[in-house]
Amino acid sequence: MIPGLRAPKNLKIDFAPSTRQFQVWKQLQPECPECGGRVVQIQNGVDRNGNPTYTSVCEKCGNNNIPQIILCGGAAGGGKSYLGSCWLISTCLRWPDMRMVVARKTLKSLRESTWNTIQSVAKSWGLEEQVHFKINNLSGEMIFWNGSKIIMKEMAYSPSDPDYLRFGSSEFSGGFIDEVGEVDQRGVDVLFSRLRWKVAETTKVPKLLMSTNPCLGWVRDRFVLDENAEPVICRPNEMYIPFSVYDNPDKNFVNAYVSALYKISDPSVRERLLFGNWLYVDVNDAACYWKFDGAKHLKDGLRDDKYDPLKPLILSFDFNVAPYMSCLMAQIDYENKKVYILEEVRGLPENKENNTPKFAEKIKKKLLCMGHTGGIVVTGDPAGLSRTTTTEEGVNNYTILLSILSAPQLRARKKLLSKQPSQITRLEFVNNIFDGYQGWEILIDLKCRKLIEDLINQRKEMDGSKSKAKIMDSRLGIKYEKYGHFSDTLDYLLVLFLNEPWKKFNAGGTSGITTFNGTPIYGSFEY
């Protein structure tokens, strides 16, 4: 018991969840969500040191996929934050001496949103501050009479603490991360590893609830849609439960809020917040590509609709090995002034594809499976022409690419910029093309997810250049630029293959383009 506080008498909790909220609620209980049976730990093997390993199983029905990380994602106003607040408080009331954590990117946003909801729920249930609970604003804690507490935590990424050592020896009983799309995946994994306080005798397994509206990044990749925009099969003991605004049990709120959401003029924002559509993205006026507009430039199924195997395919490369090697596939309709960005291909380090030979083999296999016969043009970063200390004289990234892509049916040719154009100038040019310069239009397949992330998230520096901010990958042990790899390939492609608009944009200046043979690449493919 906490001095000065006392247990409530005749407490009446008014909690009537909707069907979807109750679905989540069942996953958060210590019993099996399938049958209500008791969850026990059974040995399922040994680790490499010979120590026994265990898994959680329902002793009644045998269910061994007991949820531990649950994502509630989708439309705004579905009652996700309210549900998380109810769970935190009810857990503290149910067991003494619990340490529940509520987290968001910053303490400021947490205090202004979720923390207010938690206090509101507590008071609506008849709990009185300074009688049944107290709040320590200095430490950021809500402390109940029985010793249980809800603790606020900030999860913003810090370059000085990339491994989230700030959580150190912390011990929590369970957690709720609101707006998890703002948070780094590493931070979520570290916080989950700290859910161990009194877990065995209460919730039986660690429970981490997360909420978000549709967003780009790791949350979508891990829980919702894979790189082909297909539904993800979640990892064992993880679950995604989609939410709609209509899953909020307060119907008066729903009617008023839906009316407000329908008044949003931006269709991508409306799709994301009203319908919970994960394929729509926001416009970012502070980004390098401020003229990119998802509603205007993204098209679902573009590759299936516009790809022509009988016409030349442009492959634009970026040779950074971390976080991946990049290749953008595109075709251009000069007659109708349209650029079709059809597909992105990544050379992933975990598959040992982030080297030119392996990546080229992957591209070659893909093109042959596609049955492409219209020829290919290889372009990209001019720095790929440089020889490194690991290659022989005359050998570089492009010679390796062409030697591997030399299948007769592919008819690979190289066409490059002689040097990289000014970054500021090319950014202005690409933004003008996005804005319809000289009648040109860019259409991008919705499955080009990393390119879309670059276009939205890469920031512009004060001098107008691209931000090259780096992050630390604790898995690879190296620093790399988080954004900008696929957007660079787009820059090279547009400057090179929209040569006439580029020259006019530069007021008659040189285009800096070099073709590596004296004849046209194809009779029907001259630039």
Token pair listed for 335: 């007659």
pLDDT greater than 90 at residue 203:
yes
pTM: 0.72
Q: What is the mean pLDDT of residues 225-249?
A: 90
pLDDT greater than 80 at residue 394:
no
Whole-number Å distance between alpha carbons of 399 and 401 = 5
DSSP 411-472: -EEEEEESSPPPHHHHHHHHHHHHTTGGG-EEEEETT-HHHHHHHHHPBBPTTSSB---EEE
- Dihedral-angle region of residue 288 (phi above 0 means left; psi in -120 to 50 means alpha; beta otherwise): alpha
DSSP state of 351: G
Judging by beta carbons within 10 Å of its beta carbon (0-12, 13-18, 19+), is residue 390 exposed, middle or buried?
A: exposed
pLDDT greater than 70 at residue 45:
yes
Q: What is the mean pLDDT of residues 283-287?
A: 68
Q: Which residues contact 54 (CB under 8 A, 6 or more apart)?
A: 41, 42, 43, 44
Determine the residue type at 191.
L
pLDDT tens, position by position, 17-27: 999 999 999 99
Whole-number Å distance between alpha carbons of 73 and 76 = 9
Residue 382 pLDDT: 87
pLDDT greater than 60 at residue 388:
no
Residue 401 pLDDT: 94
pLDDT tens, position by position, 471-511: 776 666 678 888 899 999 999 999 999 999 999 998 754 44
Parallel, antiparallel or unpaired: strands 39-46 and 52-58? antiparallel
Among 223-227, 271-275, 449-453, name the one with the lowest average pLDDT: 271-275
Q: Which residues contact 256 (CB under 8 A, 6 or more apart)?
A: none
Token pair listed for 181: 């799309």
CATH 1.10.1060 fits 294-515, yes or no: no
Q: Specify which residues 210 forms β-bridges with.
A: 71, 177
- Fold annotation for 68-252: Rossmann fold (3.40.50)
Closest CA to 26 of 63, 77, 54: 63
Fold equal for 68-252 and 294-515:
no
Note whether 176 and 103 are within 8 A (CB). Answer: yes
The mean pLDDT value of the chain amounts to 89
- The more confident residue out of 42 and 391 is 42
Whole-number Å distance between alpha carbons of 282 and 266 = 9
Parallel, antiparallel or unpaired: strands 313-318 and 325-333? antiparallel
| Mutual angle of helices 423-434 and 485-497, in 10-degree steps | 80
Q: What is the mean pLDDT of residues 58-87?
A: 95
pLDDT greater than 60 at residue 139:
yes
Q: What is the mean pLDDT of residues 361-377?
A: 95
Q: What is the mean pLDDT of residues 185-211?
A: 96
Phi, psi of 326 (to 5 degrees): -125, 140
Residue 393 pLDDT: 67
Q: Which residues contact 241 (CB under 8 A, 6 or more apart)?
A: 20, 23, 24, 27, 70, 71, 72, 73
Domain assignments of the chain as residue spans, ordered by start: 31-66, 68-252, 294-515
Residue 525 pLDDT: 41
pLDDT classification of 392: cutoffs 50, 70, 90: low
pLDDT tens, position by position, 324-368: 999 999 999 999 999 999 999 999 988 999 999 999 999 999 999
Note whether 243 and 20 are within 8 A (CB). Answer: yes
pLDDT greater than 70 at residue 131:
yes
Residue 517 pLDDT: 38
